[in-house]
Structures are given as C-alpha cells and as structure tokens.
C-alpha cells in the first residue's frame, strides 16, 4: 500500500498542522465585548461558521437571527453540531391577534362620562390637639 503525501510534506518530511482549520457550517459562539453588554446580558451569541476573513486573522460568522456577517477572533466552536435551518423557518409570532383581543377588553362603556373629578369635601376637620376647627 502506498502512502499519498502532499508535496510540502514530501519536501520537508513533516506532516502539515491542520488543527487551526474548522468545519464549515458548524455552530460557533462569539464573545460579546463588555462595552456592548450589560451585567445580565449573555456573554456570547450563537453564529454559523462560514469561512475565514481575507484581510485579518479572524473567522467569518453568520448570525441567522439578524442576517449579518461579522469577523471575530474570540470564537468557540461546536464542530459536532450544525445549525437547524428548519427550526428557524417554523418560528412564527402572532402579535396582531394578541393586540386584537386586548382592544375588546379596553372598550369603555358609552354611559360613563370622563371629566375632571371633584375633590372630596372635608366632612369634619380636627386640629392637632383634637378640637374641631371652625
């Protein structure tokens, strides 16, 4: 059985180090800088690894929740997992139906008139020593 070697490996006699390469499409977590988060915010955001940046030593990452691509070096990879694109499509929110139900509860009765209210008249005032004021 013959071993196939890369040209560089045959020339140097050493195997290439590929430990820095990552699996495309894997889930990654990007660190959010302290300046952009409050005390109770998450310290990282979930992204999808899409490649390497050409102009810097960073990873290109896609955020499916907002559709933006960013470059970062502070990344943790979960190479065994992949983003579930079907689960993202199934999410739906029904804001309009919620607000429609609330409007029915807030309708005012037609017989009630809203206007300035009169302050209650004092029935009986007393001084600090307990005797009635006149």
**pLDDT tens for each residue of 68-97:** 999 998 888 887 777 666 665 555 555 555
Q: What is the pLDDT of residue 132?
A: 60
Q: Is the pTM of this model over 0.85?
A: no
Q: What is the pLDDT of residue 71?
A: 92
Tokens of 112: 């009630």
Q: What is the pLDDT of residue 14?
A: 86
Q: What is the pLDDT of residue 97?
A: 55
Q: What residues of the chain score a pLDDT lower than 50?
A: 104-106, 108-109
- Cα–Cα distance list, 18 to 50, 55, 61 (Å): 17, 20, 20
Closest residue by Cα to residue 15 from 3, 28, 33: 3
Q: What is the pLDDT of residue 62?
A: 92
Q: What domains can be seen in the chain, in order of their start residue?
A: 23-82 (2.30.30)
Q: Tokens 């990552």 appear where?
A: 22
| DSSP code for 36 | G
């Amino acid at each position: 059985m013959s071993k196939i070697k890369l040209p560089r490996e045959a020339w140097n006699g050493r195997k290439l180090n590929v430990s820095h390469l990552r699996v495309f499409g894997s889930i990654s977590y990007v660190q959010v800088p302290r300046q952009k988060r409050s005390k109770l915010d998450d310290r990282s955001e979930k992204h999808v690894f899409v490649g390497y940046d050409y102009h810097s030593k960073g990873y290109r990452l896609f955020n499916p929740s907002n559709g933006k691509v960013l470059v970062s070096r502070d990344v943790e990879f979960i190479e065994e997992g992949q983003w579930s694109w079907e689960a993202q499509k199934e999410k739906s929110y029904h804001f309009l139906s919620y607000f429609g139900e609330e409007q029915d509860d807030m309708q005012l009765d037609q017989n009630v008139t809203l206007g300035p209210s009169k302050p209650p008249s004092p029935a009986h005032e007393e001084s600090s020593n307990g005797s009635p004021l006149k």
